[in-house]
Amino acid sequence: MKKKKQLRTIGKVKLSEYFKELKEGDFVALVKDASHASNFPDRIHGITGVIEGKRGKAYIVRVKDFNKEKRHIVQSIHLKKLK
């Protein structure tokens, strides 16, 4: 897990990351953005999941954890769309 950002990018978050729109059914990777303080658990960093819906500004992501399906509510800053 990458804990540090490069010196020039610390504290900077692109506006396009805040306002990116994801559709239901998109595959995403959960990647913690170190410059944004949030209660993002380390155990779900790097896991892939499917967008189920939107709740406020955040997205509901369905993740398979061994044999169980779990749902996490994650801000768009921490989501990276997979192709």
**Predicted confidence (pLDDT) per residue in 50-60, tens digit:** 999 999 989 99
CATH number at residue 34: 2.30.30.70
* Regions of the chain with pLDDT less than 70: 1-3, 37
Residue 68 included in any domain: yes
- CA–CA distance, 10 with 27 (Å, rounded to integer): 27
Residue 2 included in any domain: no
Place of tokens 């406020």: 56
If one counts the domains in the chain, the total is: 1
**For 21-31, how does the pLDDT look when each residue is reduced to its tens digit (9 = 90+)?**
999 999 999 99
- CA–CA distance, 34 with 36 (Å, rounded to integer): 6
Residue 60 included in any domain: yes
- CA–CA distance, 63 with 44 (Å, rounded to integer): 9
Residue 53 included in any domain: yes
For residue 54, the enclosing domain spans 7-81
Residue 70 included in any domain: yes
- Say whether pTM exceeds 0.85: no
